[in-house]
Amino acid sequence: MYQRIVVLTGAGISAESGLKTFRAEDGLWEEHRVEDVATPEGYWRNPDLVNRFYNQRWTQLKKDVEPNPAHQALGRLEQEFDGELLLVTQNIDNLHERGGSRRVLHMHGELVKGRCPKSQQTFPLAMPFGPDNLCTCCEPGNVMRPHVVWFGEMPIGLDRIYEALERCDLFISIGTSGTVYPAAGFVEMANHAGAHTLEINLEPSEVHSQFNTHRQGRAGELVPELVE
């Protein structure tokens, strides 16, 4: 059957774990548009506001959020599938890893890491973002920023993603609204490679028409069915 699979996930795969999606909040946070908070300009203009945005999500992630059956099914797929599998996520949570996936490409960064703005070195987040959270790679330390790709910043791992898309024979998109690029353009690249393309989402995404097949519903139900 299929030998080279690329899976792209978005906020919808973590919705059943209790993490808010961007759409559900109408892209709003504390009456700010996410596009204004999740930007370098927003951060340098008002680091406290942006730090609060990420510290709140970090606290929620640590407290009462667990991977759901969709994360776990993709973890099993990685263990059992003997072909090539690349799991790309737009999510900055660590639920894929906690659901059993060991190789996850976080193209928009990771909430559980901080980054030195000077050296770009990343560190596991040990305390909330703020003026006291300093890197240890510089002397004196620099205030760490979230290791997150903001709007206007270059996503991580694009070369690897494009290479996998150009040779894949199956592309599965799970829980994403298809509103943010370049991720929303991956299906077009997969189609161009002649891959079979499948969208699993609660509702048709913005790029719904570019998929060969669709399964509409909750990821927690549809992804385990697909992987079995």
Please state, in angstroms and rounded to a whole number, the distance separating the CA atoms of residues 93 and 98. Answer: 10
What are the backbone dihedrals phi and psi of residue 172, each rounded to the nearest 5 degrees, phi first?
Answer: -120, 125
Work out the burial of residue 181: count CB atoms within 10 Å of its CB; fewer than 13 is exposed, 13-18 middle, 19 or more buried: exposed
Please select the residue that binds ligand BV8; options are 94, 173, 176, 210, rule is CB under 6 A. 176
Nearest residue to ligand BV8, scored by beta-carbon proximity? 12
Stretch 127-146 residues interacting with ligand BV8 (CB under 6 A) = none
Classify 137 as helix, strand or coil. Answer: coil
Q: Which of 71, 96, 106, 108 is catalytic?
A: 108
Please select the residue that binds ligand BV8; options are 18, 41, 66, 152, rule is CB under 6 A. 152
Q: Nearest 5°: CA angle at 205, between 71 and 197? A: 70
Please state, in angstroms and rounded to a whole number, the distance separating the CA atoms of residues 85 and 194. Answer: 17
Please select the residue that binds ligand BV8; options are 12, 67, 75, 99, rule is CB under 6 A. 12
What's the min distance (Å) between Cβ of 148 and ligand BV8? 5
> Is position 226 an interface residue for ligand BV8 (rule: CB under 6 A)?
no
CB 135 within 8 A of CB 187: no
Question: Would you say 134 or 202 has its CB closer to ligand BV8?
Answer: 202
22 is in an annotated binding site: yes
What's the min distance (Å) between Cβ of 174 and ligand BV8? 7
Work out the burial of residue 128: count CB atoms within 10 Å of its CB; fewer than 13 is exposed, 13-18 middle, 19 or more buried: middle
Interacting residues toward ligand BV8 by CB under 6 A: 10-12, 15-16, 21-23, 35, 38, 90, 92, 108, 148-155, 175-177, 179-183, 201-203, 205, 218-219
| Catalytic residue IDs | 108
